[in-house]
Structure 1
């Protein structure tokens, strides 16, 4: 009986294959890694052949581990890294390495395009700033620097779409990934004719648009044995990893929001309409759920800042944790709990590699403000957690200023494990924080939802709330809220006061 959902998550470091049962239960997973090549300044590329090998090998390993036959797979579905550029020929073979999301080489193409269409218009059409980060400028870079590759390209697609094309022979994408291209009209749900005209882009080189829950083909007999799935198995396109995470976190209705806390962090919502910020501070994706949108703001160094604190400030905790065979973060959290809310007036700015939304300031730098002789390492560790969280509140405030209603904050990712951090979030955000039962697999869970719904195995996206239940609710503490109500305006004022200093430091090239 075909009762299992096979979901692949093509991330930046590797592919994770996961198997879900008919009730949405996670049964097993397998991971296969691959490398990123950095061939030039601000370049980041991956070989799509490595993605294909990762999908094939992880599928075989997963089914062996789970003792499931390929004939029992009801559907194959995907999530994947977003904002990339994969040129494929008509046989779904890559013509060069993929230019991935982290690549920033196409700044000249960004400047060229800004002269042909107003960046404000791009934001209003696509929900995103005009940027070299997105797929369009990467496509234009190939056109400008590798015209033979551009001419030979049948379709420009994303990571998951490249694998789907090879599996099925069909070249498609869907709204979540399309909305990360600077080419997609968010509200119309189509490729944007004004942007395509301004870019002088060949629209025939763009894939067909389907819904995230659509069956877009079946596994071809020619690749079935290699990939380890029976020929004729339905393939559902799924979505970009960020939007799959939203669905896996249960953010599938208006009023819901989630906070992913990993090395970086973001806050995203589910809304019936896009949120267009007057200052372009936030951006909006198409949601995995057809008809919904997902306004989002992303910071560069969340868990990354806490990791920096671990490495630079907390050697005793690292040594003790090694001796006790526990995480050093557990000991850091215990230390931070010895400091009160507000860390005795110490502020930390988590701009260790500049900042994205809502600051959009690559020159911003990290630091402590308010340090005195009375401050301890416990104060410094707590200030790091509070500074990260207050920076995330800037994103939250940008949404609420535009009328977004947020009932509670769901948290996922490795950083969501820390109960102290959960409490700080509740107190800084001023709303309940829901720590979910599944913190690390929300992305594959969202892809599995799309696949299961697409073939009728799962009823609808509301199933996410039972697949990933709330493990704990943390309510704001009124006394701590009052402290942060006084601290947060100081945090904001200090950042803006330091902007000229950041510029001076950058110009000094120290």
Structure 2
């Protein structure tokens, strides 16, 4: 018996298969790209997600018998609306959460309707959210909205392709900014602000609801047996926190994936204009999010533009490109000899909420080497997370433990930098990515586990924690104020450049 989790992330799809004790029996991964037809835009083609799912399942088929899969759940990046016509065909490419085109609409919404939005949805408008994205479309591509008869979201579109059932979960709905948190239902006033008809929105269910089964058509398309129950699933951020064992108030997640998150679990909602607020997979829990746009995405950007040496060496030796980049960074030292990197490659969310910020290396001299630049990039991402954490401190939210997740957590060097910058022990859950969390939800929804906590307690495993190194802690404690001062000095310059 296997439980299957499908994660439709921002830059790639991962599929994982586990058994009822949480042991991973197979994985598959496939990347896809975001199109950037204009500066600050980011769009994806929904068909690319399905192509990636098929590729992942083909990889998985070499490791397990897919006929033994008992249940499936799907998660995905949030805020991203898939607009479908009456024939369930996409009306246009999907505007992704990293897209910055609706900055003017977000500012206008906050100025004119900020009190209503925050009171209803517990968030302030920003280009990340679906509401300002749809307002932008209503003004610049009204025909797209006129053709739209159904709105789904990333994971829901893929799940519809599997089951022919349209619905979404309530946590995903919170990522749109047209959801009433108190009523736990769609908000007609916020839909009106977005310029959309409420009737195009999907029905709402819980993340563990069985929404349908694999159809005969999906069986032919994806190579899965027909009849497998498919659980709704939820957003990747919510499912990652859950899978990492953050199931009690005071647990804090540091995420270094495409984006970076600082998420603290709470026993009640704590809305704040500078943060994001979501309900948790575990009923009764909530989490507060402070997020940076580019974490591991910064590393991938550097790899693609400047990493040909590592790419070539990886092809020769069979080693991973990112491991070779870590080797280079390790030849530098803590502080990268005074070189700083700010990872504002796509503007920035928390704590600045400024889409006009730009990335920069600051402090370069003739003595700096390429190794220093790679080290500075790794440190800059962690400094950005530490900058986000200042908001958690200012809100005085209790924090009992730090758990590190995401692709960046696979790097021993990067993990050590996190421990040193934060000056705290870092817990490292094993096998805790979004696809793993979706496996657990598949089991909860179909009765393999008695409830959400039971699944985590039976399946979660952890590696040895990483402790901070005192000398590096002291060095980073001096460097971090310089990091924030550089932002403060250059923020106006970035806006003028924009």
C-alpha displacement of 1:457: 0.9
Out of 467, 471, 474, the residue aligned to residue 466 of structure 2 is 474
How far does residue 281 in structure 1 lie from its aligned partner after superposition?
Answer: 2.8
Q: How many residues align?
A: 497
Q: Aligned partners of 1:503, 1:480: CA distance in 2, in Å? A: 34
1:432-457 CA-partner distances (Å, limit 9, x unpaired): 1123333xx61101111111101111
**1:107-506 equivalence runs, <5 A:** 109-110=105-106, 113-114=109-110, 117-118=113-114, 120-144=115-139, 150-199=145-194, 201-221=196-216, 223-277=218-272, 280-306=273-299, 325-327=318-320, 329-330=322-323, 333=326, 336-337=329-330, 341-343=334-336, 345-369=338-362, 381-438=374-431, 442-462=433-453, 463-464=455-456, 467-504=459-496, 506=497
> Residues of 2 paired with 1:267 and 1:258: CA distance?
6
Q: Which runs of 5+ in 1 are unaligned?
A: none
Q: What is the CA deviation profile of residues 174-231 of structure 1, one whole-angstrom value per residue up to 9, with x for unaligned ones?
A: 1221121111223442223432344454222211111111112233455444444444
CA spacing shift, 1:478–1:50, aligned 2, 3 Å: closer
After TM superposition, give the deviation of residue 410 of structure 1 in Å: 1.7
Name the CA distance, whole Å, in 2 between partners of 1:54 and 1:310: 22
Deviation at 1:93, TM superposition (A): 4.5
Distance (Å, rounded) in 2 between the aligned partners of 1:145 and 1:374: 49
Indicate if the aligned counterparts of 1:354 and 1:363 stay in contact, CA closer than 8 A. yes
Return the index of the structure with the highest Cα Rg. Answer: 1
Give deviations 1:96-152, integer Å, cap 9, x for gaps. Answer: 44343344444565466456522x442343233313332233444555556565455
Question: Could you state the TM-score of these two structures normalised by the residue count of structure 2?
Answer: 0.85
Question: Which stretch of the first structure deviates more once superposed, 310-319 or 481-490?
Answer: 310-319
**Change beyond 3 A, Cα 1:92–1:459:** farther
Structural mapping, 1:75-86, within 5 Å: 75-86=71-82
Q: Evaluate the alpha carbon distance shift between residue 314 and residue 121 of structure 1 in structure 2; reply closer, same or farther with a 3 A threshold.
A: same
CA distance in 2, matches of 1:335, 1:160: 37
Any conservation in 2 of the 1:113–1:199 contact (CA below 8 Å)?
A: no
Check 1:210–1:343 CA distance in 2 against 1; reply closer, same or farther (3 A cut).
Answer: same
Which stretch has the larger CA shift, 359-368 or 428-437?
A: 359-368
Residues in 2 aligned to 1:302 and 1:100: alpha-carbon distance in whole angstroms? 16
Query: CA offsets, 1:393-443, max 9 Å, x none?
Result: 1111211221222222222233223323222211221221123333xx611
- Write the deviation string for residues 233-278 of structure 1: whole angstroms up to 9, x where unpaired: 322100112222222222222122222223432222222233333x
2:13 pairs, out of 12, 15, 21, with 15
Unaligned ranges ≥5, structure 2: none
